[in-house]
Every structure is written in structure tokens, then in C-alpha cells.
Amino acid sequence: MKRILWLASWYPNRLAPLNADFIQRHARAVSLYHEVDTIFVVRDAEGKVTKSVKQEIIKEGQLTQHIIYYYSPKIIIPVADRLFSQLKYERLFKKYIRQYISERGLPPLVHLHVGMKAGLLAIWLKRKYNIPYIVTEHWTGFLLEAADRFEGLSFYLQKKWKQVWAEAAGISAVSAYLCKHLSALSVNRPPVKIIPNVVDTTIFYPVEKEKRDITQFIHVSELGFQKNPEAMLEAFAMVKKINPSFQLTVFGPHNEQIHSLIKKMGLTEQVSLHAEVSQPELAKYIRQSDALILYSRYETFGCVVIEAQASGVPVIVSDIPVMHELVQEGKNGILVKPDDPAALAEKIGWFIGNQAAFDKAAIAEETAIKYNYAITGKMFSGWYAGFVTAS
């Protein structure tokens, strides 16, 4: 049993409840084996939570989450705005790390999630207290095909991010595909270990569904460029001309362009839009679906894919490299040529007539075995053992 301090650059909070919830799930998995304390500092530019500084402490078993909000109203000059906010961010982060150390003592290991900007504090901790740190990366910006790429960051941010990697004792990534791209970005870094994302099998599990005439599809995303919702809707418009017996339920933030496209394509009877919901609520809809659609242009993993599969729901996804790590053609899903609505329409049409070909119980069982909290937590625990002595 060890006590691990987690520093997070991204983490769920009251301003963005679903922000990087995959990191929180990793923390819950690790807390099965170790005490985990997470510290996350977030700017509250509009004063929605506080007009000064507010710390929230959330305990879940061996996981203690420290969320610190700081009020920093927008300054008209962008450079000054970023500078003043960053200075306050670092000052507060150091303050709460010191407070944690005074109460709990020095942790044997720091686990950093996403190099910037909490990585600056990981370096500070290493140099001040001689505590080793490791890094887990998640960002799609490391992929060559991403719209917002690492290479598009300022020279300063790129240099600091690479410094975080260089001084880390170890680095992990959530997929082999992301690992490949991280390895290509910098030679001055430790080897990258692959530890995948995790699915909460107490929420995502299969149920018996009543037979019905309409095939139920579901899509969950932020509905941005990466997820390519326009091509997905175009494909369903093609399917409707041949077989209108389907329903597509879409979960994501309000998007006026998507609303307009649904009307323009004549899909108002087949497609329903829903706001983002909590995981337990989302799981109810996924369990009642026949297939998940995720037609992304690029991904580093695909959490919603394994959530659907854990629910016994096969997936229809774009044939991009990372999906080959999650999907076995014809067994737990279907791979489709990317950015080709006609190809997607053909696969959707095939699925409507052949969904019985998928063994949904086997899909759920295999996914639960591979991505459950216990197995992923054990992978992290084994990784930690290489950096600290048992205690």
C-alpha cells in the first residue's frame, strides 16, 4: 500500500463536470490498491463558484479529491490575462501542495496527468523535495491528424512540455497509437508504457432488451470537428431513403448547426438530441441501444466505445488506427472507411438487418474483463512499483 499524490491538468469540476472524467476513473481504479490524493486547480473567470478562492474536498474510499477554484476575471489584453492567471494558478497550486505535505508528509511518488500546465508543479516538487514523478498523457493534439496539434502551441509551451517529459521517471499513454506519437515527439524522455482507459462495470453492463421493430442507435460526443457528426447525419439521411425504421439518440452540448442539419436532412422524426448527462444516466440509454456510432476523424482511445461494449452494445466506428485496439471486425463492432458517408450508410443498413449476428453477452464479458477498475488499477500499481519501494 502506497500513498500517491496526483497532480491533474484536467479534472472534472463544478465548472465542467464531465471534463476529463476518464482521469477521475483512473484515480478510482488506482484507489482500489493505494491511497490517492488528487489536486486540481481551475480558474473561475466568471465567479460562478467563488469570487476569491474556494477548495472543495471530495472523498470516495481511498480517493481524496482536492478541487481548488480561483477567481481571476478576464483582462482585456490577452497576454496580461494569461500571465496574471498563470501566476495565480502556480501560487495557489504550490500553496495547496505545501498544505498537503504539512498534513500528510512527503508522498513517495507524484503521478501527473497531462503535462501542461500542472507539470510545472511536478518539476517544482521534484527539485524542491526530490520526489520522483511520472506522467500519463491523453491529448489528441499529439496526433499528426489532429486539428489542434502540439506543434501549433507556442515555442515556450512545447519546450516546457518536453521538459516535463524529460524530467519524468516514466510516461504512460492510453493506447499504442498515442504511445507511437509521443515517442516520435521527443527522444529525451523515458519509454512510454501503455495503460488503457477504464470502464465502470457497475454502471455499464448488459440487460435483456425487448424485441422491437425500430433499431436504436446512440451517439455520444461534444459534436465538434473531431467527431464528424455531419458525416454521420448524412449517412443516416441516406439510410432513411431505404429503411426509415431506426432511431438515433444523440448526446452532446447544444449545437445550432447540428439542429439545422437534422431539419435540412429530414431527420427530425428519426434523430433526437439530448444535453450531456451523468454517466449513470447515460448508461441507461446505452443499455437500451442496439449499436453505438462514433465516426471520429481521430482519437487517442474512445472511452464511449468500451462503455458501449461493456453494456453488450456493438459499435460502428471509423476505421482509424486506434480503433483496431478496441474493435474486432464482426465480433464486437464494425469498422468503416473514414469520412465516407456512403460507406457508413452501407454499414448501418447492413447492421439493421444483421444485428443478431453479434453475441452481446460475449461482447460485454470480454470488455469487462479487459477494462475493469481492478485490472487497470493493478496495471498502474505494477507500474508504480518500479519507482518506489513497497511500504
Q: Is residue 107 part of a domain?
A: yes
| Mean confidence (pLDDT) of the chain | 95
Range of the domain at 17: 3-198+372-384
User: Do 189 and 325 have their domain in common?
Assistant: no
pLDDT level of residue 389 (50, 70, 90 thresholds): low
- Which are the contacts of 260, defined by CB distance < 8 A and separation ≥ 6? none
Q: Is the confidence at residue 41, as pLDDT, over 90?
A: yes
Q: Which residue has the higher pLDDT, 186 or 114?
A: 114
Q: Is 342 helix (H, G, I), strand (E, B) or coil?
A: helix
**What mean pLDDT comes out for the span 321-343?**
98
126, amino acid identity: K
Q: What is the model's pLDDT at position 1?
A: 62
- Could you tell me if residue 34 is inside a domain? yes
Shared domain check, 165 and 39: yes
Residue 79 and residue 192 in one domain: yes
Q: How far is CA 255 from CA 75, 148, 223, in A?
A: 28, 20, 7
Cα distance between residue 36 and residue 331, in whole Å: 37
295 domain residue, yes or no:
yes
Q: Are residues 78 and 115 in the same domain?
A: yes
pLDDT for position 60: 97
- The pLDDT, as a whole number, for residue 391 is 43
Please indicate, yes or no, if residue 68 is contained in any of the structural domains.
yes
Residue 81: pLDDT band by 50, 70, 90 thresholds? confident
One domain, residues 264 and 328:
yes
Is there a single domain that holds both residue 56 and residue 183?
Answer: yes
C-beta separation of 274 from 251 below 8 A: yes
Q: How far apart are the C-alpha atoms of 91 and 154, rounded to whole Å?
A: 22
Percent of the chain past pLDDT 90, that is, above it, reads 92
pLDDT value at residue 190: 84
- Together in a domain, 86 and 127: yes
Q: At 214, is the pLDDT very low, low, confident or very high (cuts 50, 70, 90)? A: very high
DSSP string, 159-228: HHHHHHHHH-SEEEESSHHHHHHHHHH-SSSPPEEE------TTTS--------SSEEEEEES--SGGG-
pLDDT bin (cut points 50, 70, 90) of residue 320 is very high
- d(CA 253, CA 125) in angstroms, rounded, equals 37
Q: What percentage of the chain exceeds 70 in pLDDT?
A: 99
Q: What is the mean pLDDT of residues 260-277?
A: 96
Q: What is the pLDDT of residue 78?
A: 85
Q: Residues 290, 360: contact at Cβ < 8 Å?
A: no
Same domain, 237 and 301: yes
Q: Please indicate, yes or no, whether residues 8 and 111 belong to a single structural domain of this protein.
A: yes
In a domain, 13, yes or no: yes
> What pLDDT, on the 0 to 100 scale, is given for residue 46?
95
| CATH code of the domain in which 13 resides | 3.40.50.2000
pLDDT value, residue 299: 98
Same domain, 33 and 137: yes
33 within some domain: yes
pLDDT at 79 over 90: no
- Please, which residues have CB within 8 angstroms of residue 120's CB and are 6 or more apart in sequence? 90, 160, 164
Model confidence band, residue 187 (pLDDT cutoffs 50, 70, 90):
low
Task: Work out the number of other CB atoms within 10 angstroms of the CB of residue 357.
Answer: 11
Residue 43 is predicted with a pLDDT of 96
Residue 76 within any structural domain of the chain = yes
Mean pLDDT calculated for residue range 165-180: 96
Going by the DSSP 8-state scheme, the letter that residue 339 receives in this structure is T
**Are both 139 and 254 inside the same structural domain?**
no
Select from 166, 134, 101, 108 the least CA-distant residue to 7: 134
Domain tally, the chain: 2
Domain assignment of residue 143, yes or no: yes
Same-domain status, 225 and 140? no
